[in-house]
Structure 1
Amino acid sequence: MAGRPATIRGGGISGAQIGLIVFAFISVAALGLFIFQLTRVKELQHRAESAEARIKHLGQPAAPLGTYYDNEATARGSGATVFKLMTEDLERVSQLVAGESKLIAKVLEEQSNELLRQVAATHPISASDTLLTAIRKLDQHATALAETKKSQALELAEAQQNIESLTQQLKAARDEFEDQIADTKSDYERAVADFGSKLAAKDAQVRDLRDLLETREKDLQDLRRAAETDKREWDLERTRRDKQIAGFQRKIEELAGAFDPEAILKKADGRVLRAIPGSALVYINLGANNNIKVGMSFEVFSHTATPNRTLRGKGSIDVVTIMDETAECRITRNDAAQPITEGDIIVNIAYEQGRKPKFVVCGNFDLNYDGQIDPDGAEEIKSMVRRWGGQVVPELDESVDFVVIGTASKVPPLPPYASDIQRDQAERRSLENVEKFEPLKKQAIAMHIPVITQNQFFFLTGYVGQPDRSLYNDRSLGLN
């Protein structure tokens, strides 16, 4: 059976003491718990301050990203933070771009830019394009290449068909060509056989011709020897004839002597029969029987005085009336100091009884003495010669009586704008004219044929004009 509690004796703990001990224990425990809670609060406060400082350091994402990540973290609930969500997005972008989830943005950017530069060097994109833009351009380029490849494939198929067709045509042409070659070969063999027979015949002809050539060569040598003999004899004969001709020429020169201009006057055509003082008419001893014509002119020279060097006479007359043996003439020019008298001789070198004097006319002429060359001057001189009974010949020979010479043909002056080629051509034509003009004078002098000027021709035919007085003292070649 149960007994009651034992009583402490002699100094046991009382209830008050126990209560006091319990109170003290509870107080110590409460104080310890307060200190623990205070330490925990300090720690949490420190951690909150550190978290706030870190958030401040990391910053907040700008709208709309901040709003998006805040809403997304709230929707996911416990454990989802904005930073964690952003980290996951960066990892997915890194995995999508580079195939690795742990690359930072700088590395991704460097690798992307390097790849863009490499691709831009060979493809139609720019190194400054974004990845999406570059991918879009590359896709467009790939699509275009695919279309081109498809078109080329069609063209290739068509080309293959054409090649097959051409191959068939080539085969047909080759077969036809081989047939033609076979026919040609047969023709060639026949032609070779024919050629062989013809060649044998030609060889026989060549032998015959060689024999004939040898015979002709012998005949030619005989003829050459005969020709050499004849040549030696001819050279001897020519030498003998040259010596004879040289002797004849010396005799002719001795007989001819120097040309005398007065010989023209000594061979007068007629004389003045009657001259009436104060009258413009004279009568000469030439008439119809002497073949003179109305309008013919004569130069009158004194029968006593020596003619001057200009060969200008004392007067000029024109035939106006013709009788059988005489003619009435009109004085067209006279000199009061030297009147025309009976016995004066009359001359017209283009007229001669019984023959027609020959003239060569060369050069340009100024018939009216105005300082300008007359385009038809030479033809007018020739017309005068023919009108008075002479004849004009184109070439100089021993039968020519006179050479009427003007001035050398001149090339018209060129304008200032003429080219060097035109000036060279004009100079060449001028030299050619001089080369034709000068030799004629020298040849006539060498042949003792009188060379007279325009003035002298007018003087010796009785032509009345207005001659240039400054030319009266000209010394014509051949009339010194």
Structure 2
Amino acid sequence: MAKYSRPKKEKSSTLLLVVLILLVTLSLSSLTVLVLFRARERNTSDKVNFAVEQKKYFNRKNLDYLKQIQILQQITTGDANSGVEPVKGLLDRKKAEHANKESDKSTGVVTIESFFRWAVADLGTTEKSVLIAESDETTARNNEEHQSKAFLDLSEKLDDQIAIIKGEITKIDDDVEVKIEEFSRKKVEKDEALKTIQQEKEDIEARYEKQERDIKMEIKRLEELIRQNSVRKEPVTGMLEKQGYVMNPSRSAKTAYINLGTEDNLVLGMKFRVFTEVKAGVIKWKGMVEVKKILEQHRSEVSITNQSEAFEPIVDGDLITNPFYGRKDAKIIVLVGRFEEQNFPYFGNYSLEELKRRITGFNVKIADSVTVDTSFIVKGLRREESQTDEQNTEMATLLAIPQLSIKDLLDYLEY
């Protein structure tokens, strides 16, 4: 049985087809490489990823090229097992058949040799591309590290600036809080001051209205007094008040008690004249007592300093009086006339200042002019009166205010 042998023309066509496929594959690979290289214009992170992927791709292509070169070598040198005619013999035969033609341009017989040269050159280019990709990767990584370091430095600076700004904001907040508290405090103080002023204004208005009413009432009262005293122009010279009474007198011990005490505006050393009413409008003087001890609310011990008649001693129930004494309110008096020392032959060497001191010592107020509140006036021994004294005397007469002589008061003032 004869062995089947593939025609030589069919083998040549197959070889050319293989070569064309390889050329197309290499062209596509080159085109792919070109596209990948043009994609390097992306940002740093994309370039790094691209370079890594490109390197992997070129490694794979190198393996493919090596495999294809091995196949071509087998085809060129021939392979007894494959039954393929060696390429060299094929080329020699082709040269003999097409001797009159330009082999490089018309037949493409030398295309495989050119392909080898191109493949080697392309492999070098690929290796250069790989090196460039690795360099780009290194550069990208360096740039990334540089940018990362710059970012960290900038971040630290920003953190420092933010900390400074936060500190300033905190300080401003604290200052604002302090100013708000100070403003609130001043506002409260201002409101309180306004309330106080408003209250004082209302109080002043109320006092003014009351004083106005009181003055009107006082004017009416004075008009009535003037009307009553229009007929009688004589001064009131008498003054007698029943201010208390004597209790448990001891004739031998010359002591007694009175019904005035701590709640009765009593003063130690104050003297009272003792009297009794014989009948209506008729009194009898019995002596003098002086306060020695203030014991209780309405009880004090007194000494009997003077007794008018031995056969009419001071007894329980005898009345006491002192024109300077005010049980509830202090007396108000006005001094009229002159009060030199030589005018008091029975009063000792007291000056006018000493006289005033003794009077005020009994809780008595000395005023300069006569008013409706004046309790009485004290007239000096000498008649050399000033214009003010004349006005005070006339006003006391008009208002029916008692006018007492200093002679009638010395017994209450002496020690």
TM-score normalized with structure 2 length = 0.40
Structure 1 or 2: more strand by fraction: 2
TM-score normalized with structure 1 length = 0.35
* Larger RCO, structure (CA 8 Å, separation 6 or more): 2
